[in-house]
Amino acid sequence: MEKHPIIFHIDVNSAFLSWEAAYRMQVLGEEIDIRTIPAVIGGSEAERHGIVLAKSTPAKRYKIQTGEPLAHARKKCPNLVIVPPTYSVYVDSSRRFVDYLKQFTPDVEPYSIDEVFCDFTGTEHLYGKPEVWARQLADRIRDTLGFTVNIGISSNRLLAKMASDFEKPDKVHTLFPAEVPSKMWPLDIRELFFVGKASEQKLRTLGIHTIGDLARTDKDFLRHHLKKHGETIWDFAHGIDHGEITKESTPQNKGYGNSITISYDVTDADTARMILLSLCETVGARIRADKAYVGVVGVTITDHNFHHTSHQKALPAATDVTYRIYETACSLFDELWNGTPIRLLGVFTSRATEEQSFQYSLFETDKYERLSKLDKAIDSIRGKYGEDSVQRACFVKNRQTHMSGGINKAKRTEHTKRGHAEGC
């Protein structure tokens, strides 16, 4: 009998706050569950990282938003509890989350630190109906790991992810292709995956306000106004996703990314490029630690008015070379930035693979092979003597650290320790 695909998208509810709460109660023995009071995870205000990273359900009642300054959040809720982030806890919690899911299916694909796709195709004889099993799985995660999740169920990743974003927290939703017209088309266009603010504004000028409006629009018309992106979101509006779940034999991460909230407004391109380089150093190190290569590089910018823009580009060949990632990031930045003071910069990659293919000229192939060997030599030195033992000359006596961190710094530290242990 033909097997019908069953894909789960499992998303941790308020991940950083949930993981922090579970750690404080299970490990530190604290009695107060910060998920039950108005509380947020927030960065350092002294270094201008003072924004809301995650919020509790009670905090949501005060209309506190992820990404807003802590000062604004305090005005909305004077008794707000602000907890600093513990990134090493979040990395460990994410790893345990993935490992736990692998007990039930080998086809687990981490999408981000707090999101996972699982392929449960053909497992009905083991677990029963997908909706019933999803509820049982969510309960098991809560009881075993100490936090709640949303689970979206469909026949492809796109619709499963869309479903998991429906009502939260601790909910299970389905969104199979037959349910798209009734469940997805009435939603505002901004709710569609891959529609950012720029795309949203463009679509609204074309009279497209809901996902259903987009689905009913002529595809050639969208292609004319939005190029290839128009074709992609038209497919998404119809529930069409050409991707497949990544099997266990491929790298654990589908993509690698890093971002930093800057302690001052960046107003010149040279400083921005320096920050991009520090981000690429971190991202490149993580890619090589996983023995992976990436085929897409992207850049995201948040300006001082909290407007977000992003852009990505496919590479001619998958790479693990820091400088190749940086070259592409700079090119994207030049296309994207309009001169508005910058508060946050990010570099992200996708299409991770274990295979490296070359489509460069002979000269370029030689160049990037040499740079790859140099990167690996630097990784080895940093693994033995610490990440600050080697850095590019441009960062010496510079206010910008040579490897920007956050959650990725914790991951990087773990990779370094593991890699050094394996080499001993």
Tell me, what CATH number does 271's domain have? 3.30.1490.100
> What are the tokens at 97?
């989350």
Co-location of 110 and 97 in the same domain: yes
Co-location of 412 and 274 in the same domain: yes
pLDDT on residue 368: 65
Q: Report which of residues 376 and 243 the model is more confident about.
A: 376
Residue 142 lies in a domain: yes
pLDDT on residue 354: 73
- The continuous run of DSSP H or E covering 274 comes out as helix 269-289
Co-location of 215 and 286 in the same domain: no
Co-location of 105 and 13 in the same domain: yes
Label residue 391 by pLDDT band (50, 70, 90).
Answer: confident
Co-location of 19 and 156 in the same domain: yes
pLDDT on residue 180: 97
Q: Report which of residues 62 and 386 the model is more confident about.
A: 62
Residue 274 lies in a domain: yes
Q: Report which of residues 105 and 113 the model is more confident about.
A: 105
pLDDT on residue 254: 61
Q: Report which of residues 33 and 263 the model is more confident about.
A: 33
Co-location of 376 and 356 in the same domain: yes
Residue 246 lies in a domain: no
Instruction: Summarize the confidence of residues 122-147 as an average pLDDT.
Output: 94
Residue 64 lies in a domain: yes
* pLDDT tens string 192-240: 987 877 789 999 999 999 999 999 999 999 999 988 889 989 999 999 9
Residue 251 lies in a domain: no
> What are the tokens at 378?
């630097």
Domain end marker among 164, 180, 196: 180
Sign for the CA dihedral angle at 381, 386, 390, 391 comes to positive
- Rounded CA-CA distance 423/398 in Å is 33
Are 151 and 10 spatial neighbours (Cβ–Cβ below 8 Å)?
A: yes
Instruction: Summarize the confidence of residues 272-289 as an average pLDDT.
Output: 89
Label residue 300 by pLDDT band (50, 70, 90).
Answer: confident
First to last CA, the chain: 50
pLDDT on residue 245: 44
Structural domain of 203:
185-237
Domain end marker among 133, 148, 180: 180
* 145: pLDDT strictly greater than 80: yes
Co-location of 351 and 271 in the same domain: yes
Name the nearest CA neighbour of 210 among 176, 183, 232.
183
What is the domain-level CATH number for residue 200? 1.10.150.20
Co-location of 168 and 205 in the same domain: no
Co-location of 1 and 131 in the same domain: yes
Label residue 302 by pLDDT band (50, 70, 90).
Answer: confident
Co-location of 387 and 295 in the same domain: yes
Other beta carbons within 10 angstroms of residue 368's beta carbon come to 19
Residues 6+ apart with CB under 8 A from 163: 9, 152, 153, 154, 173, 174, 175, 183
Bond preceding residue 169 cis, omega within 30 of 0: yes
Other beta carbons within 10 angstroms of residue 32's beta carbon come to 12
Residue 242 lies in a domain: no
pLDDT on residue 328: 92
What is the domain-level CATH number for residue 46? 3.30.70.270
* 312: pLDDT strictly greater than 60: yes
The tally of domains found in the chain comes to: 3
Q: Report which of residues 6 and 228 the model is more confident about.
A: 6
pLDDT on residue 403: 67
Label residue 153 by pLDDT band (50, 70, 90).
Answer: very high
Name the pTM for this structure: 0.65
- The Cβ-side half-sphere exposure at 2, using a 13 Å CA radius, reads 2
Residue 243 lies in a domain: no
- Amino acid identity, residue 357? S
Are 303 and 320 spatial neighbours (Cβ–Cβ below 8 Å)?
A: no
Co-location of 137 and 176 in the same domain: yes
Reported residue count of the chain is 424
Residues recognised as catalytic: 115
What is the average pLDDT value for the chain, to the nearest integer?
83
pLDDT on residue 96: 92
State what percent of residues in the chain have pLDDT above 70: 83
Q: Report which of residues 336 and 206 the model is more confident about.
A: 206
> What are the tokens at 214?
């987009």
* 244: pLDDT strictly greater than 70: no
Co-location of 298 and 375 in the same domain: yes
Residue 104 lies in a domain: yes
* 424: pLDDT strictly greater than 50: no
Instruction: Summarize the confidence of residues 130-139 as an average pLDDT.
Output: 97
